[in-house]
Chain A
Amino acid sequence: MTKCTVKVDFEKINEILKSYNYEKSSLITILQKVQEIYKFLPEDAITYIGEHIEGLSPATVYGVATFYAQFSLEPKGKYEIKVCDGTACHVRGSSAVLTAIKEKLNLENGKYTTSDGLFSLEIVNCLGACALAPAIVINGKVHAKMTPEAVSVIIDTLTKNESE
């Protein structure tokens, strides 16, 4: 895996910490705010947070960050694809949709971001759109009643827009 180097703006992180009074109990919210900026949690940010909240250490912050599925320690693609594999989506064919996306983007064996950094893939449990199963979300927008063909068209369109 390539190690990611992102310049972390510690001043910004400090602002976030300050707005939550450096409170231990706000750690998850703080990490969420940091992830909003970088779309993932840079190692330097984790260390900084661990060193600046009383009662925490970089290791405990790392432990919390890895415990929750929402946090990513790796950068995400420009387009974040979330495929629902909740029960409703599963019985209505989410596996085929998932396979189609992986095939299309050449993602296999634990690789979840395309080499050009354009797309990343994540499997989630339920998006709350179960009546429109199978559902996927791309950058916050829900796409309903997906099929392998439909998702392939969506990816093509996004790729095309990018190259223009």
Chain B
Amino acid sequence: MMNLLETNIKKEQEKAQEYIKKQGLRVLVCAGTGCLACGAREVIEKFQELGASVNVMTDEDKVTTVPTGCHGFCEQGVLVSIPDLNTTYVKVKAEDVEEIFNSHIKEGKPVERLLYVDPATGKKALHTNDINFYAKQTRAALANCGKINPESLEEALAVRAYEALAKVLTENEPDKVIDEVEHSGLRGRGGGGFPTGKKWRSVARYKGGKSYVICNGDEGDPGAFMDRSVMEDDPHKLLEGMAIAAFAIGADEGYIYVRAEYPLAIERLKLAIKEATERHFLGDNIMGTDFSFKIHIKEGAGAFVCGESSALIASIEGERGMPRPKNIHMAEKGLFKRPTLLNNVETFANIPLIILNGAEWFSSMGTASSKGTKTFALTGEVNNNGLIEIPMNTTLREIIFDIGGGIRNGKKFKAVQLGGPSGGCLTEKHLDMPMDYDMLKKEGAMVGSGGLVVMNEDTCIVEVARFFMNFTQHESCGKCTPCREGTKNMLAILNKIVEGRGTMEDLDTLEELAEVVKESSLCGLGKSAPNPVLSTLKYFRDEYIAHIRDKKCPAGVCTALTTYTINQEKCKGCSKCARNCPVGAIDGVIKSPYKIDQSKCIKCGACMKGCAFGAIELS
């Protein structure tokens, strides 16, 4: 049975699809942050210029340039994808555009030199689905990212935006929406993995007065950008997910808290809210019903701890973003002391899909306890860096070696860091583990928000642990002593170790401190801060010991434990290094080999950088 509401959205959809059809051949040029940095603006202009010059007889003859959001394969930017020709071009520059246009679009001959080359096989990917990076993914939450112009509501409607909202408003049974979300098995994508349906139900219990829906778009994990992609590339999906949540729990006002470093996301969301409100998909009396829902944007101001739920609420209220004790549940008293539902961006983005495709569709993917798909920011020393989405039963090996194309420059895999400053490092022996919330947690890592940083043999694990501790120590809000002082002490010890002044007792102290900080900190930041140290101590203890006992950094990263020497055979005696050295540690006679006085050397590396003969070596 279809009522007026659903008929109307179908009509809007048909109109939007007609609008897309009229565009003829769609050339999708990525205008995401990465590609913009690589010159996407110029590529788009060039395509538009050439597109306008085509002799158009019918709509089908037309060529339309569509600036889209991130295609996910940012490392290969600027990406240009032409779905009708099943081709994706990589590393496109403005000067390549004419050739693509004349050769491929006009004459049907692909431009081979701009195709993606598989790093493992050396084969060119003639078709988009020949690119392993894409072929092995399942894109659901990110399905529209890179496929539509995020600044056009029409394009979003063509790919079924607001259809799920129309469906739940038609059925008008909020509790059934919560049932559906619960049955899907969706768990929060913001890091904790709390069952989403259960959370909704706990807030819906206080229905009646004013309630709020908040979207956490703080994305604080340094090295992750999945939420950014949803906000920038498919904003209507997020807005629709929030509206459905608001309907289910009985809220009429919402906030999206976006981190300050994402100006483009803020701009796109504002535009999307404006357009959706004008067409009555948001605002008062949505689609003619008596359901109303308004969304505001709140810009964060650069504090990691504000991603934590109670700190985020303090920040929206205009205060310092400090966590509050959790004895009062925010389901009952959250924002402005009213019942509040807080979910992550990706969590909301999954909602319209679950409503449209059904809970079974969602729960058919993944593992027993982790359903559906998850996005990850695959970065570090893998060949294919970018944004991916995979069913949650995908293993680390499939991610790193199939989708990621293996380790770059023929180096060896060493470790993978998951979950950022709250997560941990896993090793070779975990490669066949699926991305399951509970399994990863048991091994000392976590799904987290989805940062996945791959490291090779040249990465010093102790230095990575120090890096994360430095981050959390810096971001600790200082409200409670265990976190404030504990992270400071842990950092001091790690600094000592990387500087070669560590003792074996320091390792025990580190572990003891880690326990205290974990057990007695007030909020999640402190509670999880020791994780990167604990997991590396567990799997890479040898490396800590090498720094302490042998005063060596096996990866050659820690400057205090490295020595610069001049290879006496290669040195031509040009004296450049001696002139470059800021402390006068190098001496010699012109035209005979020079020498470094190790007692004076401060290991700045200036000499090595300057030597034209590669005579200076680091060990």
Q: Which residues of A contact B (CB under 8 A)?
A: 23-29, 31-32, 63-64, 67-71, 85-92, 124-133, 135, 140-144, 148
Given contacts A28-B318, A91-B459, A144-B34, 13 further A-B contacts (CB under 8 A): A24-B317, A25-B316, A28-B315, A29-B298, A87-B221, A87-B223, A88-B379, A91-B381, A126-B219, A126-B224, A129-B37, A130-B377, A132-B77
Q: A64 touching B318 by the CB < 8 A rule?
A: yes
Encoded as 1 (CB less than 8 Å from any A CB) or 0, chain B from 218 to 246 comes to: 01111111001000000000000000000
Q: B302 touching A126 by the CB < 8 A rule?
A: no
Decide if B385 is an interface residue (CB 8 Å cutoff).
Answer: yes
- Report the interface size for chain B: residues with CB under 8 A from the other chain: 56
Decide if B38 is an interface residue (CB 8 Å cutoff).
Answer: yes
Decide if B420 is an interface residue (CB 8 Å cutoff).
Answer: yes
Decide if B453 is an interface residue (CB 8 Å cutoff).
Answer: yes
Q: Which residues of B contact A (CB under 8 A)?
A: 33-34, 36-38, 73-75, 77, 219-225, 228, 260-263, 298-304, 315-322, 377-381, 385-387, 417, 420, 451, 453, 455, 459, 464, 467-468, 471, 477, 609
Distance in Å from the Cβ of B338 to the closest Cβ of chain A?
13
Given A88-B379, A126-B222, also A27-B420 (CB < 8 A): no
Q: A67 touching B320 by the CB < 8 A rule?
A: yes
CA A19 to CA B315, docked complex, whole Å = 20
User: What 3 A-B pairs are tightest by C-beta distance, nearest first?
Assistant: A86-B222, A87-B223, A68-B301
Given A88-B379, A91-B381, also A29-B299 (CB < 8 A): yes
CA A47 to CA B487, docked complex, whole Å = 34
Q: B224 touching A130 by the CB < 8 A rule?
A: yes
Given A24-B318, A71-B301, also A87-B453 (CB < 8 A): yes
Q: A88 touching B453 by the CB < 8 A rule?
A: yes
CA A144 to CA B194, docked complex, whole Å = 36
Q: B223 touching A130 by the CB < 8 A rule?
A: yes
Q: B380 contacts which chain A residues (CB < 8 A)? A: 87-88, 91-92, 133
Given A87-B420, A91-B459, A127-B261, also A132-B225 (CB < 8 A): no
Given A130-B385, A132-B37, also A26-B318 (CB < 8 A): yes
Given A125-B471, A128-B262, A142-B33, also A28-B299 (CB < 8 A): yes
Among B261, B298, B317, B320, the residue within 8 A (CB) of A126 is B261
Q: B303 contacts which chain A residues (CB < 8 A)? A: 67-69
Q: A71 contacts which chain B residues (CB < 8 A)? A: 301
Q: A130 contacts which chain B residues (CB < 8 A)? A: 223-225, 377, 379, 385, 451
7 A/B residue pairs, CB under 8 Å, sorted by A = A28-B299, A69-B303, A86-B222, A91-B380, A125-B304, A128-B33, A142-B36
